[in-house]
Amino acid sequence: MRVEMEQLKHFVVNAGRSLGLSLAIFLVTISGAMASLAKPWQLGTQDPVSPVAVRIFEFHDYLLVLITIITLFVLGLMVYVCIRFRASRNPTPSRTTHNTLIEILWTAVPVIILVIVAVPSFQTLYYGDRTYEPDMTIKVTANQWYWTYEYPDQDITFDSYMIPKEEIDPATQTYLLSVDNPLVVPVGKKIQILVTSNDVMHSFFVPSAVVQIYGMIGRINETWMQIDKEGTVFGQCNQICGIDHSGMPIAVKAVSPEAYATWLAEAKIKFAAAPAPIRVAGGTVNE
């Protein structure tokens, strides 16, 4: 009896600790959710900047509530069973093996839960997949280890390289994220993004806009984004693509339509002067 009580006490203390830890992680996650740039030890997501990101993060929060309720319910049942049906309190256990009502319930309830997860999940998935009647198109080509951005409607193509550590201005730039030529987009416009690769598999990943799509050699993958806040959001290639995989960040600068028009006029001069250099492993071919 004494040993049993010790075991029970041990169980309750451990369960309490696990619950406390889960609650602490949950609270830190909520408080960390409002960051605009990934920071060391950050938990939670970056600020959403696109309608797709808003919907996906809402779906994430909805699932978090749902799984918390399910986990607490199962934990409550287990605690109840451990206490109510322990050997000392219940010396002759029941030999019941079937209960039709409970069996129907524990089959039907999880099915209903899966349906209420699946419906908004598919809605969000299809919403983020592609856009119809986009305002503009940007073609993104991945290279080892930089990005080429092409605005087919405007006849502009340029490369975007990470700024090396020794050239970083710490006041305005972030090492491993800042680039020489960011992808400039107007705010509030539906942008069709076409992604491909020149060499190996890469992945175009901008977390705060929830864009993540593979760049595959010889194929075009399509997605879209619409950035509703002015400012720069960062991303990275997140498909291991070789030695400088960490050296091909993505910076997307969202500006007002007027500033975008000014940038376009400048970019047409700046980037049209010479054809983009063809870079291959070990050097440049046409420079």
Binding stretches for Cu ion (CB under 5 A): 202, 237, 241
- For the bound state, the minimum distance from the C-beta of residue 202 to Cu ion, rounded and expressed in Å, comes to 3
- For the bound state, the minimum distance from the C-beta of residue 215 to Cu ion, rounded and expressed in Å, comes to 7
How far apart are alpha carbons 287 and 283 in whole angstroms? 9
| Cβ nearer to Cu ion, comparing 178 with 197 | 197
Which residue in the block uniquely carries the two structure tokens 């990005």?
147
Amino acid identity for residue 270 in this structure: K
- For the bound state, the minimum distance from the C-beta of residue 270 to Cu ion, rounded and expressed in Å, comes to 25
- For the bound state, the minimum distance from the C-beta of residue 279 to Cu ion, rounded and expressed in Å, comes to 14
Q: How far is CA 11 from CA 4, 69, 78, 227, in A?
A: 10, 21, 11, 50
Amino acid identity for residue 119 in this structure: V
- For the bound state, the minimum distance from the C-beta of residue 262 to Cu ion, rounded and expressed in Å, comes to 31
Nearest to 209 by CA among 187, 235, 189, 185: 235
| Cβ nearer to Cu ion, comparing 227 with 237 | 237
Nearest to 113 by CA among 76, 78, 79, 74: 74
Residue 184 near residue 158 (C-beta atoms within 8 A): no
How far apart are alpha carbons 254 and 228 in whole angstroms? 8
| Cβ nearer to Cu ion, comparing 51 with 182 | 182
| Cβ nearer to Cu ion, comparing 200 with 264 | 200
| Cβ nearer to Cu ion, comparing 155 with 244 | 244
Tokens representing 284 are 């440049």
| Cβ nearer to Cu ion, comparing 51 with 215 | 215
**266: Cα separation from own chain's centroid:** 33
- For the bound state, the minimum distance from the C-beta of residue 35 to Cu ion, rounded and expressed in Å, comes to 24
DSSP for 21-63, please give it. Answer: HHHHHHHHHHHGGGBSS--TT--SPBPP-SHHHHHHHHHHHHH
Report the SS3 class of residue 260.
helix
